[in-house]
Amino acid sequence: MKVKYIDKRHWRRLIEREYTEVKVNNNRFKGIIGLVTMKKVREPLEVTVVGQNIIVADDNYKWLQILPEKKRYSITVMFDDKGHPLEYYFDINIKNITQKGNARTLDLCLDVLVLPSGEYELVDEDDLMFALQNKQISKKQYHEAYIIAHQLMIEIEENFSDVQEKVMRCYHKINHKAQKNKQKRPFKPRNKHRQHRRKTN
């Protein structure tokens, strides 16, 4: 079964990236929020969502990763270099592992893709069937994937504006932390300079 790390550590498309992560535990949300900033990519990534071609990965694009604790799905929201959401990607998972620094999911193949307009589609059903036929998942997990996906699609149909609001709350929280981390970085060269000076004395 495919393991997906939310920091995109194994994604070869990324030449240079920054990653910020925070663990949240309050009455609104429990889990991990991560933000991947794509400083430099090998080439843009264009995908088709509900019949529309969209570039979702390019230089200075950001991917927000939302990994709820004790849930069977995770959310990736792709933002362009101006901070506009492009796509909401719901992964159906066997399990979410909310370990800070190593947050990851055990992927269950089935996905729900959503445009900012609220239009959505269910994808990768063939992959789910392949996993079942090759005994990578059980019949129980196969049926659970559809149950979770349909629950998400009902939520999207009825309350997508609420979903968007929660996503943007997460985005602003983690983006604020990422900016604070950037402000701390100028101090590092001074430390290196002091180390270099000690070596030459």
pLDDT tens track for 4-34? 999 999 999 999 999 999 999 988 899 999 9
Count of CA atoms in the C-beta half-sphere (13 A) of 75: 23
Q: Quick one: pLDDT band at residue 181, thresholds 50, 70, 90?
A: confident
Task: Render pLDDT for 67-104 as a digit per residue (tens, 0 to 9).
Answer: 999 999 999 999 999 999 999 999 999 999 999 999 99
Residue 162 pLDDT exceeds 90: yes
pLDDT, tens only, 163-179:
999 999 999 989 888 88
- Whether 19 and 32 have beta carbons less than 8 Å apart is answered as no
Give tens-digit pLDDT for 97-113. Answer: 999 999 999 999 999 99
* Per-residue model confidence (pLDDT) at position 32: 95
Q: State pLDDT tens for residues 113-137.
A: 999 999 999 999 999 999 999 999 9
For residue 70, the Cα-to-chain-centroid distance in whole angstroms is 17
Of the candidate CATH numbers 1.10.10, 2.40.380, 2.50.20, 3.30.420, the domain formed by 3-196 belongs to 2.40.380
Q: What is the pTM of this model?
A: 0.88
Question: Do the Cβ atoms of 86 and 74 come closer than 8 Å?
Answer: no
Helical ranges in the chain per DSSP H: 125-133, 139-184, 187-200
Angle at which helices 139-184 and 125-133 pack, to 10 degrees?
Answer: 120
Domain ranges for the chain: 3-196
